[in-house]
Structures are given as structure tokens and as C-alpha cells.
Amino acid sequence: MAWTPDDIPDLTGRVAVVTGANGGLGLETAKELARHGALVIMGVRNLEKAERARTEILSTIPDALLEMYPLDLASLASVRSFAADVVAAHPRIDLLVNNAGVMATPHQETEDGFELQFGTNHLGHFALTALLMPALLCGTDARIVTVTSTARHFRTRLDRDDLNLDVNYTPWGAYGRAKKANMDFALELDRRLVDAGSTVRSFAAHPGLSNTDLQAQSVRSSGGASQRFFERAAAWIGMPPDRGARPQLRAATDPLARGGGIYTPKWVTAGAAVRRPITGRSNRAEDATLLWDLSEEATGIEFDVAGLVSRGCP
């Protein structure tokens, strides 16, 4: 039998953080976690849109436990503020879903001067995960799920000397680079957690071709022909958001899920949520080490997994 959200176990008493929880896959993820009893912290950039999302969830799940905090992943100051507020309110976190992102935008920079897609999709989540790790280490068999994409296969190479792609920028190449970074980060984080003897586990997940507002946002930001093509393709053959969210939900909640892997639709773009093997080319240690070092330098955050684990729950 294919896995569905009906297979999610009781999550009562567990605390979950979901970025981009005000729409698309993030909204569906927040909804199902709340339906099964978790207290869901919604990390959101647009508070007005988030309020509508919370109203939608409460209309079908009146007893849902929801909290909203402002979070702009394109601002390290916002990430730090969000993490501080969340940890102050919830010193124990059981689940982090790094879901939010932007796709195929024109060349832009974050508040901190990083290429927008890499800065938002990867660096923002790298910093957030590092800052929430002490609370995750206090959780019960905590999990971190980072959302990647099949676009990681047509990435632009990560170059220490051109981190902002000032020389060779393309919207899809930059998106692929950011999504490859999401993948490498998720797998490298799990390796470091395992080596440190932690029970916290890290997973990657990708939603296949899902019909969410991400494609429309991409069109609004760039208006490019390829962006319009993918918007139409998602509308015609893409999975609805509730099905697209299943890989990340399974990684987040299935008691049998194994860290250090990726959960995807069975047929790549569609189908039941399954665990896929990781090939050597997509899991090179040198790529992950370079990414980790550059991420620490860029964010100014030393993410010492072994040191954090050795100190344990604060």
C-alpha cells in the first residue's frame, strides 16, 4: 500500500517548525502536522497571507495548534530574530521542515548581498538549522527535512570566487545550484550527526512536479518563456499541493524513515512518496565540504555539529 498522510502517527506533544507555511507545499505540510496533533510554528514572510493560511487550517481543523512568526530567509537578521524568538518560546523542537524557497528569478541579491536563490533557499536554511540545533537536540528523535528539486541536476557549479554568479548567471542554473546545495546540506548534516552519535536525523525530499504558486511567482518575477512553460506544465500535469507535500511529510513522520536519504515521488515527477537511493555522483564528499565551509563563511555562523552534540541539550 502506498504511504499517505493517514499513515502519520499521533504527533501530540511534538513541536514542528515549517518555513514557507503560508502556501503551497508548506501550507499542506503544516496542515497535516497539525491534523495529527503537532504544535506547528509557521515561519512566514507575508503575515497577511499567513493569517489567511491559518484561517484555512482552522476551518477544517478547529483544534489545530498554530503559531506564526515572521521569517524572511533572504535576511540573516530576520533568521536570527526568528530563531531567537522560537527557541525562547520552545526550547525543545522535534521537527524542522526547510521548505520555503524562490525559483528561477532574475539576478538579484539578498539583504546581505548574496545571490537571491542561493541566499534564500540554502544560506537562510543553513543559518536557521544551525541556530535551532540546540533546541532540536532537546527534541525526541528530532528530524530535519530540507526540500530539494530535480533541478539540482542542471545546476551551475559552486565557485568560491563567484559565489554571487556575477560572471555566468542564468535563472535556472542558479536555481539548480541552490537546490543541489539543499541536497548536499541535508546529506552532509546527517553524516555529521551520525558521526557525532546524535539521534537527530536529516533528510532530503523533493515534490516532483507540483502545481503550487511557486511557478506563478517565478513568472511574476521574471516573465521568461521557460518560467511560463513550467507554470503551464504544472497546471496541466502537476500534482496538487497535498500530493506534492507527501515526500517531505513521509520523511518528517514515518517511523521507518531512514535519515541520510531522499524521499521523492515514485515516478520522479509524480506518484507515491518513496525513498530513493543516492548515487555517488550526487553525493560527493568534496562538494559537501566546500558547501559547508562557504556557508559558514557567508553566514558568519560556525555550525559545529560535533561540538553541539557533545554539549547536549542546554
Distance CA 22, CA 50 (A): 5
Tens digits of residue pLDDT in 150-168: 888 877 789 999 999 998 8
Distance CA 152, CA 268 (A): 13
242: pLDDT strictly greater than 70: yes
**For residues 98 and 210, which has the higher predicted lDDT (pLDDT)?**
98
| Catalytic annotation, pick one of 69, 169, 175, 263 | 175
Which residue, among 79, 103, 91, 87, has the nearest Cα to 219 in the 3D structure? Answer: 103
What are the structural domain ranges in the chain? Answer: 8-298
Catalytic residue list contains 175: yes
**Lowest-confidence segment of 50-64, 88-102, 218-232 by average pLDDT:** 218-232
Q: Over pLDDT 90: what percentage of the chain?
A: 78
Say what the pLDDT of residue 168 is: 85
Say what the pLDDT of residue 240 is: 84
Average pLDDT, the chain: 90
Which homologous superfamily is 8-298 in?
A: NAD(P)-binding Rossmann-like Domain (3.40.50.720)
219: pLDDT strictly greater than 90: no
229: pLDDT strictly greater than 60: no
User: What's the whole-number mean pLDDT along residues 103-118?
Assistant: 95
Q: Over pLDDT 70: what percentage of the chain?
A: 89
Rg over alpha carbons for the chain, rounded to the nearest Å, is 18
Tens digits of residue pLDDT in 3-62: 999 999 999 999 999 999 999 999 999 999 999 999 999 999 998 989 999 999 999 999
Distance CA 51, CA 59 (A): 12
Say what the pLDDT of residue 17 is: 98
202: pLDDT strictly greater than 50: yes
Give the dihedral sign, CA 111/114/116/121: negative
The CA-CA-CA angle for residues 120, 279, 205, to 5°, reads 40
Name all contacts of 302-306 with Cβ < 8 Å and 24+ positions apart: 303/126, 303/129, 303/130, 303/133, 305/133, 305/189, 305/192, 305/193, 305/196, 305/198, 306/192, 306/195, 306/196
Say what the pLDDT of residue 280 is: 57
Confidence of residue 228 (pLDDT cuts 50, 70, 90): very low
